[in-house]
Amino acid sequence: MRTENHGSGMDSALPIAEIDFSRYHMRVSTERFTSRDYQELEREKLWMRVWQIAGRADELPEPGDWKVYTVLDQSYVLVRGRDGAIRGFVNACRHRANAFCQGSGHSARFTCPYHRWTWELDGRLIGVAMPDFRGSVEEFVGPKDELGLLPVQVEVFAGFIFLNPDMSAAPLADFLGPAAQALAAYRLEEMVPVGLNVREKIRCNWKVVIDAFQEGYHVQGVHPELVSYMDMARERFMEFGLHCACTVPFGGARSATAGPEQEVAMYRQLPAPNFPGIVAALPRFENLVALYLDGDGAPHFPAGVSARGLMQQAVRETMTARGLDVSALSDTQMSDYQFWALFPNVYLQLCPGEATVIIAAPDRDGDPNACSWHVCHYLWLPAELREEQRAELVEIPEGEHFDYFLALEQDYSQMQQQQDGLRNRAVKFMSLTRQEPRVAHFHAVLDDWLGDSA
Ligand code: FES
Ligand SMILES: [Fe+2]
């Protein structure tokens, strides 16, 4: 029995043909993808001020577990305290600024390896090595309470650790706005990486990655094998403040005229690597379809019954039987993926019990023509199965490449090819179409953040 469908706002989202594009700049400067000055502007006005995903809360299960998070040349350490709260600090010693943490680890307190100053997990300075000094710590270094680790803001939502370097920034809830409630319905905090969890460098700007996953327009160009599954003409779009999302029903361009047989066949043929959540419900779907088969095995649906409706029922029943609470999700959400642009650098592809999350991070050394992406596939699993099925992060060494499934391979090479084009001095702007509202929205929000100087 469903009570409130918090995630169903998208059911009333606008068909993209009805969007008012007049508030967007449909010509977007290419300079933002290639210029070091622009990257520097992003560093100061975006990355130093924005809430950004820095990891998953379950990477730090125990008090004393810590990990380093970097964005451009800024380095932070995230740590779970004795009180269970996750905190963040600038990864620089208060003595002579040594980056005292590398990678990840577990410790009862932080000790800088250079001259062995020590801090509590909450950032308080508790010890200063004084091998040859006979006076007090205060005589040695001045007031101790001024030398705590420099804090940054950290909050957890949907199992993700969000970090904001700006201590005066508004809370995460303000930043997420209405997106928080819509996303909460998917229960991402109960999902773990399964199957695919890879980070590697890509030879393109981080925004090329974001743009590539924020439109379905390129499916016909880059993923022709998926054309028959996605009904792009029925895409719907909704803004959630800084963030936005769209949803597209399954069914090819001909789905409006497809008969029951084609509709059923379309679900049966969905490629599992792309859409594992829906594919997982196929056995139940077959049971339901079997109720309507004639002597020749062809489906005949009475009025009010459709393949899509049976698929929705199959997903709801399959997920509920597994123990996932889908009561906050609408029927549309059972069958239709939602594609989210979580500003600034996160793509979320969501269906019940499943999420594909791509995070594009600017290049550590500040090269605007490079970035890293972290592609992770999350599955909802009963608590007792989460640890055994968890996929650890695979970091691909520079110069090597991970072998993704077909669509991601296609995107991976396409994005680098776009960057090659963007670098041409003669091309000053990209020209967006009315099939790219999320791309337009993202660049409009980015323009707001960077202000007049952009
Ligand atoms: S730089 Fe850290 S103790 Fe000296
Ligand atoms: Fe793609």
DSSP 387-443: HHHPPPPEEPPTT------HHHHHHHHHHHHHHHHHT-TT--EEE--TT-HHHHHHH
Ligand 1 atom at shortest distance from the alpha carbon of 116 = 3
Average pLDDT over residues 153-171: 98
Q: What does the domain layout of the chain look like in residue ranges?
A: 1-50+178-260+324-454, 52-168
- Does position 379 have pLDDT exceeding 60, yes or no? yes
Separation CA 400–CA 314 (nearest Å): 41
Average pLDDT over residues 425-445: 96
pTM: 0.94
Separation CA 262–CA 274 (nearest Å): 20
Rounded to 5 degrees, φ, ψ at 437 are -65, -35
Question: What residue's CA is closest to ligand 1, atom 3?
Answer: 115
93: Cβ below 6 Å to ligand 1? Answer: yes
Sign of the torsion angle spanned by Cα atoms 346, 408, 313, 311? positive
Separation CA 114–CA 56 (nearest Å): 29
- So what's the pLDDT on residue 252? 62
Separation CA 428–CA 448 (nearest Å): 20
Proportion of the chain above pLDDT 90, given as a percent: 85
Sign of the torsion angle spanned by Cα atoms 288, 291, 297, 301? negative
Work out the pLDDT band at 454, boundaries 50, 70, 90.
low
pLDDT digits (tens, 9 = 90+) for 75-116: 999 999 999 999 999 999 999 999 999 999 999 999 999 999
Ligand 1 atom at shortest distance from the alpha carbon of 93 = 2
- So what's the pLDDT on residue 3? 39
- So what's the pLDDT on residue 185? 93
128: Cβ below 6 Å to ligand 1? Answer: no
Helix (H, G, I), strand (E, B) or coil at 347: strand
- Does position 254 have pLDDT exceeding 70, yes or no? no
Separation CA 146–CA 138 (nearest Å): 11
- Does position 2 have pLDDT exceeding 50, yes or no? no
Token pair, residue 81, equals 């305290």
Ligand 1 atom at shortest distance from the alpha carbon of 112 = 2
Q: Considering every ligand atom, which ligand is closest to the CA of 91?
A: 1
Average pLDDT over residues 20-42: 95
149 and 90 Cβ atoms separated by less than 8 Å: yes
In terms of CATH, what superfamily is 1-50+178-260+324-454?
Naphthalene 1,2-dioxygenase Alpha Subunit; Chain A, domain 1 (3.90.380.10)
CATH 2.102.10.10 fits 52-168, yes or no: yes
- So what's the pLDDT on residue 424? 97
Q: 249: cis peptide before it, omega within 30°?
A: no
How many C-beta atoms lie closer than 10 Å to residue 86's C-beta? 21
